[in-house]
């Protein structure tokens, strides 16, 4: 398997129409007639090349810069490498891959964080995506977030050759 851990995981994430819809579209609201983000009424993001790349470039990032969130109402994930730890195996290390999820308070209306978490697990856990073996969910927890936002860190783990 590849050693481009972030690139490999990023490719999986950006291929998910469901994930892009959850990160881009606002929660369902009867008063404003905003449909459910997964509704077939809304256009598929992947079908519109310009929109697709706008969503990817704004909502699925390969860094942890959050300073532009304060003045916006977004749901966004950040993907980056975590620690590389020893294992009992002399040849294998444990590489952590971190996905931070930040969501504006308006996205709490439909429990967006839970929906995104379920999609991340569906896409990643138990799959051979990168490194050695199948990806595992390692840990998760609340993290500091900008004003009017909440944050949660998801830590995944995959095997890596020691070299």
92: CATH: 3.30.2000
- Indicate the average pLDDT of the chain: 93
pLDDT for 3: 78
pLDDT for 2: 53
pLDDT for 82: 93
The whole-angstrom separation of Cα 35 and Cα 37 is 6
Q: For the whole model, what pTM was predicted?
A: 0.92
- The gap between the terminal CA atoms of the chain, to the nearest Å, is 15
The number of distinct structural domains making up the chain is 1
pLDDT for 65: 78
pLDDT for 1: 47
Domain range holding 150? 5-161
pLDDT for 64: 79
Segment 8-31 shows an average pLDDT of: 95
pLDDT for 91: 77
pLDDT of 21 above 50: yes
Q: What is the pLDDT of residues 40-88, one digit of tens each?
A: 999 999 999 999 999 999 999 998 778 889 889 999 999 999 988 777 7
pLDDT for 162: 75
Edge-to-edge, what's the strand order for the sheet holding 60-61? 60-61, 75-86, 92-104, 149-161, 132-143
């Amino acid at each position: 398997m590849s050693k481009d851990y972030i690139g490999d995981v990023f490719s999986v994430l950006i291929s998910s129409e469901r994930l892009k819809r959850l990160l881009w579209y606002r929660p369902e609201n009867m008063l404003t007639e905003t449909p459910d983000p997964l509704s077939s009424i809304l256009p598929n993001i992947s079908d519109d090349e310009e929109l697709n790349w706008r969503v990817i470039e704004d909502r699925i990032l390969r860094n942890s810069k959050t300073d532009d969130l304060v003045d916006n109402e977004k749901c966004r994930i950040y993907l980056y490498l975590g620690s590389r730890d020893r294992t009992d195996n002399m040849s294998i290390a444990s590489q952590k891959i971190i996905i931070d999820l930040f969501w504006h308070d308006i996205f709490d209306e439909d429990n967006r964080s839970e929906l995104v978490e379920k999609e991340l697990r569906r896409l990643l856990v138990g799959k051979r995506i990168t490194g050695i073996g199948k990806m595992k969910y390692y840990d998760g927890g609340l993290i500091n977030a900008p004003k009017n936002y909440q944050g949660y860190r998801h830590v995944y783990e995959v095997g890596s050759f020691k070299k």
